[in-house]
Structure 1
Amino acid sequence: MKPYCTVVLLLVLLLGCGTGSRVVRLETGRTDTLVFTPRSTAEPVEVDDVEFEESMAKLAQDARLPSRPQEAARQLFEVDARSGSYTYEIRGSHLTPLGPGEHLAGGSTAAEVELTRAYLRWCERTGRPGDCLRLLMESSIVNGDGRFALAMALAKGVVLDEMLEAFKDMADPHAMVAAVPWTWTTYMVLLSIPDVTVSKGLAAVMTATLISYVGVDTFWGLIVGFKRLMEDADRATTFDELRKAGERYGKVMGQNAARAFAMLTMAAIGNTAPGLAAKVPKLPGSIQAAAQAETQVGIRLVALGEVQTVAVSAENLTLTLAPGAVAMTSDARGPRRFSKADRDAAYDKSQDTTGRARCEYCDEELVRESGQSKSYEADHRKPYIKGGSSSAENLAPSCRACNREKGAREVDVDWVPPKER
């Protein structure tokens, strides 16, 4: 096993499967998996500065201030303590986070000490003297996940200042500000480590809500961007390098996504999955998020508490939830009809070497004239009524006769195509 001090391989593991169309899979336990293709036009829900600060102040009043934010965040998401270093086994492509004290050899202690001093000077310059982000409560230097938390705080920029303004009337506003990047960082680590790709309970509800606010594409961008942040933060030897890494991630997030993430993080601190789900409808932008929940993940925002688990992979997002959480208005399978582009592409793809389009089920030549037994029709391989999506992958170029005969039956399950009889 060869050790690596950086986490560049995380990016390879996430992106290695390509960048094709991502889908959301809904597991309800009552029917076959519902496959939903999110709309690609989603944008992060807009929350203005006044709404954001008022919401954060109210959420802070209900939150129990953690004295040790890093430990509290780990307990919240059931994440074990780590050193922030990793080993990588090439043969099995297996990445393993090291435990506390299991740091890799070769790190520059002098550089870590100087980085820590620069961090304390930054706290002083920003009017928060001392260990303002509580990064030194488990270590005398900024290392491990502390680097990620610091970079995350630097990524927030204006949003961090807005939080401080929102918490100004609290007994210890700096402690509350510190709790947010630690909770945020721990949550992102949970989603980013390949061996911990399934989030449960509170993290599941937080994930579904975050996607509703920012959209599927932005959500994946946040994960990929955080992996880059981890790599850059781990390699940084100076505060300036760490600051630049944070600023790059800040550009990936954008202000609206950063505000949404901060609100959800604040609502999650010291809470439970049902408690977080109950607070979401009261957050700024929740009406727009509710509409986006149906177009992005096929669920009803008011039923977030029924989301049990979320599994994230390079191409898919799988949610396990109660049937009542599925959005009836959008239908998790998407539109019943295939798009014209998909119908045309399937017809062209079905052509043989002579240029004749063929029925997938009987091999008879298709014609593009309606009303005939051999008229080209787009059929759902997995019937729509049984959870089949109207996606290109589920489209079978069929003649009218086979389409009518097959009906809502499944190929090779309760119907055998003529060419195979």
Structure 2
Amino acid sequence: MAIRLAVLVLLLALVGACTTPRGIRLDTGSGAPVRILPPSSNKSVEVDAEAFEEALTQWVLEIPLPLRSSRQQWLVHASYPGRTQDLRWQNLMRKSFGGICGAGQRSGNCLSLLDDVAGLSEEDKLGVALGLSLAPLKESISKAVEDTLAPQLFYTIIATGLITWAVLAANPEPVFTKAAAVISALLLIYLGVETFLTVVDASRELKRASDRATTSGELGEAGRLFANRVGPEVARVFVLAVTVVVSHGLTGGATSLAGQLQKMPAFPEASLVGASQVGLELVNVGQVGAVAVAGRSVVICLPSTAIAMVARNATLGSSTVGIRSWGSFSGLKRALGSAEEGKQWHHVVEQTPGNVGRFGPESIHNSENVIQLEQGLHKRLSGFYSSIQQEITGSRSLTVRQWLSTQSYGSQRDFGLQAIEKVQKRIWGVWR
């Protein structure tokens, strides 16, 4: 990892040495980075209030939420109040979620305008300001956690993750690692590069404003400006990204996290957008080792196996990658031409009548779902889908294709990508 980070730092120096357009660089630590220039439209995945509450409720009620404190090497759990040395900071977070007290109202559940915050640490002040910025989401968060034993403690745990990320983002050229890198990858997929960079800029402004603040009112104003800059839609994604990363999914590694990510709102759409605009499959964000920002460029450090096929098939260094879709396979072939010599076009999510009817032709016949494969591999894949594989499907009568046809788009896509890899390595196949 030290070598990978050294490569990342060197790459940042090279990126910063000249003016470059906004974009993504996928660095695997070997070979030239894959450069992706997202479409100028900066497509984002919408998460409305209802979807936000549903996803958050599911995680809160079904999954334990551990989080390693940035101050002590111990885990805070929603099931117990934590240690006494951190109660003061937790109390500040609870009060900030309650907002600023009205005139003459002094309460343990809100920040008093009479309180002097000059004695707070910079991290405490940033946390209070960030907590106050989430006021527009207060009702939705409250609905999601109303059936828990300690709603305010849940908020404290999530706020801790938000603060940790925001502190890193406030650096001149931030480098996010470990959990913060995974959060960054999720933000990039759901928000797009331009909006992600806006959140980074807003975090810097929030940090500067909260550092200068000497009263609760000034912290409240800093939080309000941050909220206005990012908007409630971005804030929802921010809270969900932190929640899923600090949930049980991360403690089980990248595989466990991938399972939890399928509960994210608009998962199929986010998978497509992530592959085309970021070059990263949504289910693979747990493999991201580091994310760095240099100017208007974002560098993602990850294994080559986690890079989306649409990015691997792109021309290095100059390609503009984006999803193009057509109403039929013949329309796609007219636009893209025949596959290269010795290769054939392959649909990751198959172009069966059932899939076209359920998901729409544009979801099937597009530049992210249709890729080129060697003829021999394509033939073996077709034979595999037409065969009965009880050890994989659990069925003695259904073919792989029939078994797969009833599943969601995201599940079919994940299986399709896995099938390509395992059939290519002859782990799966038809043996006669």
TM-score in terms of structure 1 length: 0.57
State how far apart, in whole Å, the 1-side matches of 2:18 and 2:216 are.
34
Contact 1:20/1:315 (<8 A) preserved: yes
Deviations 1:278-301 (A, max 9, x none): 322221122222122123211222
Cross-structure match for 1:35: 35
Cross-structure match for 1:144: 122
State which of 209, 213, 218 in structure 2 corresponds to 1:241.
218
Secondary structure of the structure 2 residue equivalent to 1:45: coil
Contact 2:244/2:260 (<8 A) preserved: yes
Q: Which amino acid aligns with 1:151?
A: A
Contact 1:39/1:295 (<8 A) preserved: no
Q: Which amino acid aligns with 2:231?
A: G
Would the alpha carbon gap of residues 238 and 123 (structure 1) be closer, same or farther in structure 2, given more than 3 Å must change? closer
Percent identity between the two aligned chains: 28
Q: Give 1:75 shift.
A: 7.6
Q: Which amino acid aligns with 1:267?
A: V
Deviations 1:20-40 (A, max 9, x none): 512211122453221111222
Cross-structure match for 2:143: 165
Q: Give 1:228 shift.
A: 0.6
Q: Which amino acid aligns with 1:180?
A: I
Cross-structure match for 1:269: 246
Report which stretch shifted further, 324-333 or 254-263: 324-333
State which of 322, 326, 339 in structure 1 corresponds to 2:303.
322
Q: Give 1:256 shift.
A: 1.4
State how far apart, in whole Å, the 2-side matches of 1:235 and 1:268 are.
31
**Residue correspondences, number:** 280
Cross-structure match for 2:290: 309
State which of 167, 183, 193 in structure 2 corresponds to 1:216.
193
Secondary structure of the structure 1 residue equivalent to 2:289: strand
Give the unaligned 5+ runs of structure 2. Answer: 1-15, 77-91, 112-116, 321-432
More helix as a share of residues: 2
Query: What does 1:91-130 align with in structure 2 at a 5 Å threshold?
Result: 122=99, 130=108
Query: What does 1:14-53 align with in structure 2 at a 5 Å threshold?
Result: 20-53=20-53
State how far apart, in whole Å, the 1-side matches of 2:24 and 2:307 are.
12
Would the alpha carbon gap of residues 288 and 18 (structure 1) be closer, same or farther in structure 2, given more than 3 Å must change? farther
State how far apart, in whole Å, the 2-side matches of 1:280 and 1:220 are.
23
Contact 1:205/1:276 (<8 A) preserved: no
State how far apart, in whole Å, the 1-side matches of 2:319 and 2:187 are.
29
State which of 159, 171, 174 in structure 2 corresponds to 1:181.
159
Contact 2:197/2:296 (<8 A) preserved: no
Work out whether 1:201 is the aligned partner of 2:178: yes
State how far apart, in whole Å, the 1-side matches of 2:191 and 2:126 are.
22
State how far apart, in whole Å, the 2-side matches of 1:31 and 1:17 are.
20
Contact 2:271/2:282 (<8 A) preserved: yes
Secondary structure of the structure 2 residue equivalent to 1:171: coil
State how far apart, in whole Å, the 1-side matches of 2:110 and 2:66 are.
14
Would the alpha carbon gap of residues 72 and 277 (structure 1) be closer, same or farther in structure 2, given more than 3 Å must change? farther
Deviations 1:189-211 (A, max 9, x none): 1233248x332222222211110
Deviations 1:245-298 (A, max 9, x none): 111111221121110110111112253452434322221122222122123211
Would the alpha carbon gap of residues 122 and 239 (structure 1) be closer, same or farther in structure 2, given more than 3 Å must change? same
Query: Alignment RMSD, CA only?
Result: 3.8
Q: Which amino acid aligns with 1:307?
A: V
Would the alpha carbon gap of residues 203 and 68 (structure 1) be closer, same or farther in structure 2, given more than 3 Å must change? closer
Q: Give 1:188 shift.
A: 1.7
